Chains A and B, each alone.
Chain A
Amino acid sequence: MTTVLSVDDVTKRFGGIVAVDGLDLAIEEGELVGLIGPNGAGKTTTLNLITGFLDPDEGTVSLNGEDVTGASPDAVSKRGIGRTFQISKPFGRLSVYENLLVPNVSCGPAEQEARIERLLEELQLEEVRENRADELSGGQKKLLELARVLMLEPDLILLDEPAAGVNPVLMDDIMDDIRRINANGTAILVIEHDMSVISELCERVVVMNAGRNIASGTFEEIRDDEKVREAYLGGT
Chain B
Amino acid sequence: MTVLETLRSGIARTGDRLVEDARSRNGIVFAVLALLALLAPQLVGGYTLDLLTQLIIAILVVTSWIFIAGYFGMFSFAHAALYGIGAYATALLAGKAGVHPVLAVLLGGVVAGIFAIPIALPVLRLSGAYVGMATLAFAEIVYRLAIHFRGLTGGPTGYTGFPPLLGGSRLALYYFVFALVVVLLVVQYGLLVNRFGLVARAIREAPDAARMLGNNVPRYKLVGFVVGSAIAGVAGGLQIYTVLIISPPMIEVNRMIEFMAMGIIGGLRTIGGGIFGAVIVFGLNEGLRDLGELRLVIWGAMLILVTIYFPDGLADSSLDPRDRLRELLNRE
A residues within 8 Å of B by Cβ? 51, 53, 72-74, 76-78, 82-83, 85, 89-94, 98-99, 101-105, 108-109, 145, 148-149, 151-152
Contact = CB atoms under 8 A, between A and B. Distances in A.
A40 to B, nearest CB: 21
7 contacts: A74-B214, A83-B212, A91-B206, A91-B210, A92-B205, A102-B210, A145-B209
A102 B199 contact: yes
B127 interface: no
Contact of A102 (B208, B215, B216): B215
Given A74-B217, A102-B198, A108 B211 contact: no
B201 A85 contact: no
B209 A77 contact: no
Contacts of B9: 109
Contact of A91 (B195, B201, B212, B269): B201
Nearest to B195: A101
Contacts of B216: 72, 74
Given A94-B205, A148-B209, A151-B213, 10 more contacts: A73-B208, A78-B214, A85-B208, A85-B209, A93-B201, A93-B204, A93-B205, A94-B201, A102-B199, A108-B1
Q: Which size bracket describes the interface of B in this complex?
A: 20 to 34
B306 interface: no
Contacts of B209: 85, 89-91, 145, 148
B305 to A, nearest CB: 22
Contacts of B217: 74
Contacts of A72: 211, 216
A5 to B, nearest CB: 15
Contacts of A83: 212
Nearest to B208: A89
Nearest to A154: B214
A74 B198 contact: no
The binding surface of chain A is classed by DSSP as: loop
Contacts of A149: 213
B214 A77 contact: yes
B198 to A, nearest CB: 6
B308 to A, nearest CB: 19
Given A89-B206, A89-B208, A98 B198 contact: yes
Contacts of A109: 9
Contacts of A91: 201-202, 205-206, 209-210
Contacts of A89: 206, 208-209
Contacts of A93: 201, 204-205, 269
Contact of B214 (A94, A98, A104): A104
A148 B198 CA distance: 14
B127 to A, nearest CB: 14
A72 to B, nearest CB: 7
Given A102-B198, A108-B1, A73 B206 contact: no
A45 to B, nearest CB: 14
Given A91-B202, A91-B205, A94-B202, A51 B212 contact: yes
Contacts of B198: 94, 98, 101-102
B208 A53 contact: yes
Nearest to B9: A109
B232 to A, nearest CB: 25
Nearest to B199: A102
A145 B205 CA distance: 14
Contacts of B201: 91, 93-94, 98
Given A98-B198, A101-B198, A108-B1, A152 B213 contact: yes
Given A98-B198, A101-B198, A102-B198, A73 B212 contact: yes
Interface in B160-202: 195, 198-199, 201-202
A52 B204 CA distance: 20
A146 to B, nearest CB: 12
